[in-house]
Structure 1
Amino acid sequence: MQSHFFWSQAPGTSLLQGEYDLGLVLLSLMVSSIAAGQALRLAAFARLALTSQLRGWAIASGSLALGTGIWAMHFIGMLAYKPHAAVQYDLPLTILSILPGIGASAVAITLLAKAELNSKQLVLGGIIMGAGIATMHYSGMGAMRMEHMAQYSPIWFAISLLLGVVLAMLALWVRFGLARLSDQLSLGVKALAAIIMGCAVAGMHYTAMLALRTSTPESAHASSAAHSDNQLVLALVIALVTLSIGGLIGQANGLLHYRTRWQQVDMNEARLRALVQMAADGIISIDTQGNIQEYNPAAEAIFGWSAEEVVGQNVKMLMPVALAHHHDHYIQRHEQGQINAQPPLRNKISEVLGQHKNGTLIPLRLALSQAESRGQRMYVGVLTDLSDRKKTERQLHIAATVFDHCFEGVMVLDANRRVVDINPAFARMAGISRHSARNKDFIALFHGNEDDASITDMWTEVGRNGHWQGSWRMRHNDSLQEVSITAVRDEQHRLHHYIAICYQSVRQELASLI
């Protein structure tokens, strides 16, 4: 078998010479480059696929398109070779030779679909791809039927295998190498990558063709078979059919990719709309004229107007008259700033007044940003009703005023019975500043110690009843004070603070009068 495959010069024989049709060689290079471009596009579909099924389909269809393209390039390249002898092809073996090319293409597409390619993957992929294309080439050459047996030079056979692997690695590397040179693959860079990859694949074929040897006896007369127009027509038909198949596969992948992307966009829009509708804060979007485009249920609860009543209306209807008067000027000024390339609005936070449907003014926290939607600028405001917070702030202000100005001494303790704060009245009673009192133990301000049974009983009663009242003497001046201690608990009945109120004992006042 080996003696029939490899060529060795026998006495009385000569080599059959051949030549190439330049037009068909260029056609084979064009087919190879276009197939490489389709492979890069289908690999990009696989890389960006949102599901494993879509990725698998892109790799499988890409392998078929690239494998068919490589086979077409190979067959056109064989048609381009004119050995000055009659040549026919074994049809079944010629068709079966496409299978190694599809297998090699599957490896190539799988690797091209990766975001990055390391050295080990590049070398292993190049070996498998080069071996697959070499197998396709030599099995395709084995389908040639000539008067004299085709054999191969052992040296050029080895060179073709080695060079095939090197060119396969170049074909795999070219996309990643060019991608590193440019942040974004432009159309020109993609075309260059396809041409380099196509020429590398075609280079494997024409290098392997150099190994072809056909011997004829010296006494024999080589018949000069004319290169008929039928071979040119066959080459063109093969090229057209192959590129059409690749184009249809590419279009099918493009449609699937677009459909999947559209479904993803539609799902994202539905998710975003659900978030807007369920948001606790009011969300209102307006166009550059101030007309309301979006108005969620939380905004309905804040302003009392329904979405049907406000969508399409100017947002000024939700403002007090004094603020509405300035709104148009504000939008116009900002729009003019955008024309002059000023920075866009990004989460500008302010406190504003809104107006309820019944005329009530509502304090609001407004976070305002701008966005682009299909080339149109819009403004989105996220509104938080501050009515409850303002009410709480007023109550806290009143409580703080009482704390600072009441005649009785007030002391706030944490759960560990250490001082958090004292009011000015208690500071005068205890002879201590507010700053120095903080974090002191409660009992450190009065006569007594933690081992006293009376202190233990006091805290036990506070824990049991939530309140204790009695008398203690100030450590500072030995004055007798009436002390009331109350436990403060949260909604889950967990203790977190104590409030102690002190005022001078009646007995102490009578003693001072006497």
Structure 2
Amino acid sequence: MGHLDHAAFGWLTPVLSYVMACVGAALGLRCTVRALGATGRSRRNWLITAASAIGTGIWTMHFVAMLGFAVSGTDIRYDVPLTVLSLLVAMAVVCAGVFAVGYSRDRTRALLIGGLTTGLGVASMHYLGMAAVRLHADVTYDPVRVALSVLIAVVAATAALWAALNIRSPIAVTLASLVMGAAVSSMHYTAMFAVSVHVTPSGEALPGASAMQFIFPLAVGLGSYLFLTSAFVALSPTTGEREASASAQQPVDSLTVRQQARPV
């Protein structure tokens, strides 16, 4: 048996990964709220932004946490195509879940379908990410803990989508995203505690890229995307603000028209 360390850098990776999950959830909820107040192409764009934010947040949380994953007696490498596929899966299934909620007439059914789809997607993203790990060892999973991690993912996703439909105030969105971040993190660590590793020492070089060569730069890039998009969303006016500004503009415009129409 190899000794598993889930926090090789101490509290840094668990805390940082939790922050990433919260930022992704907060941005996703905020964009979904904006989508529900919009129509047409604007609604679709807000929903795509929401899905990419939540998907990116979940994926970045997983792999930032994985930076702290170490096994005594073997190096760890990552299969690049599989890791990228896990990111695309995260985005695609969250997109399906968010669109189900954004466009459905029946809210309850949309929540159940969207929550189930997104939860299973998050779980498949996690286990695809785990399948991308290369090490000199046989990896086995405890089926009960795996099932528990999938259940947590589905409940967390359903709760997040419910929050997106029912929560409007910034304080409530913040609280919901903190809870979402905690749920995503607990899903990740439940899944990680399902892992058992039997090390088979070998002098052969492992295929794939090391965490610092590949995972770290990608996580930094996606993290930057999240923070920049958050800033953009925070600064762009809401539908209500735009309407207020347009109605404030109207009297000024009509006054200008009247002045121009007045004979000299």
**Fold match by TM threshold 0.5:** yes
Could you tell me which residue of structure 1 aligns to residue 54 of structure 2?
66
Could you tell me which residue of structure 2 aligns to residue 129 of structure 1?
118
Which residue of 183, 205, 221 maps to 2:188?
Answer: 205
Query: 1 CA distance for matches of 2:156 and 2:27?
Result: 19
Q: Aligned pair in 2 of structure 1 residues 247, 95: CA closer, same or farther (>3 Å)?
A: same
- What are the superposed Cα offsets for residues 39-71 of structure 1, whole Å, 9 maximum, x if unpaired? 11211221222x411111121232222212211
Give the 3-state SS of the residue equivalent to 2:137 in structure 1.
Answer: coil
RMSD of aligned Cα (Å): 3.8
Q: Aligned pair in 2 of structure 1 residues 111, 197: CA closer, same or farther (>3 Å)?
A: farther
Query: 1 CA distance for matches of 2:172 and 2:242?
Result: 27
- What are the superposed Cα offsets for residues 318-369 of structure 1, whole Å, 9 maximum, x if unpaired? xxxxxxxxxxxxxxxxxxxxxxxxxxxxxxxxxxxxxxxxxxxxxxxxxxxx
Find out whether 1:97 has 2:86 as its counterpart.
Answer: yes
Unaligned runs of 5+ in 1: 1-14, 222-229, 278-292, 298-305, 310-514
Could you tell me which residue of structure 2 aligns to residue 241 of structure 1?
221
- Report the alpha carbon displacement of residue 155 of structure 1 after superposing the two structures with TM: 2.1
Could you tell me which residue of structure 1 aligns to residue 14 of structure 2?
25
Which residue of 21, 45, 57 maps to 1:57?
Answer: 45
Q: Whose strand fraction is larger, Structure 1's or Structure 2's? A: 1
- Report the alpha carbon displacement of residue 173 of structure 1 after superposing the two structures with TM: 2.7
Residues 45, 257 of structure 1: 8 Å contact kept: no
Could you tell me which residue of structure 2 aligns to residue 44 of structure 1?
33
Find out whether 1:81 has 2:61 as its counterpart.
Answer: no
Q: Aligned pair in 2 of structure 1 residues 18, 296: CA closer, same or farther (>3 Å)?
A: same
Unaligned runs of 5+ in 2: 203-209
Q: Whose helix fraction is larger, Structure 1's or Structure 2's? A: 2
Query: 2 CA distance for matches of 1:267 and 1:167?
Result: 41
Query: 2 CA distance for matches of 1:268 and 1:145?
Result: 61
Superposition TM-score, scaled by structure 2 size: 0.78
1:218-237 equivalence runs, <5 A: 237=217
Q: Aligned pair in 2 of structure 1 residues 263, 308: CA closer, same or farther (>3 Å)?
A: farther
- Report the alpha carbon displacement of residue 96 of structure 1 after superposing the two structures with TM: 1.1
Residues 34, 194 of structure 1: 8 Å contact kept: yes
Query: 2 CA distance for matches of 1:82 and 1:188?
Result: 37
- Report the alpha carbon displacement of residue 111 of structure 1 after superposing the two structures with TM: 5.6
Could you tell me which residue of structure 2 aligns to residue 512 of structure 1?
none
Give the 3-state SS of the residue equivalent to 2:90 in structure 1.
Answer: helix
Residues 126, 168 of structure 1: 8 Å contact kept: yes
1:332-343 equivalence runs, <5 A: none
Superposition TM-score, scaled by structure 1 size: 0.43
Give the 3-state SS of the residue equivalent to 1:16 in structure 2.
Answer: coil
Letter of the 1:32 counterpart:
A
Could you tell me which residue of structure 1 aligns to residue 176 of structure 2?
193
- Report the alpha carbon displacement of residue 196 of structure 1 after superposing the two structures with TM: 0.9
- Report the alpha carbon displacement of residue 135 of structure 1 after superposing the two structures with TM: 0.9
Which residue of 13, 16, 22 maps to 2:2?
Answer: 16
Query: 2 CA distance for matches of 1:267 and 1:23?
Result: 49
Q: Aligned pair in 2 of structure 1 residues 63, 294: CA closer, same or farther (>3 Å)?
A: closer
Which structure ranks higher in relative contact order (CA pairs < 8 Å, sequence separation ≥ 6)? 2
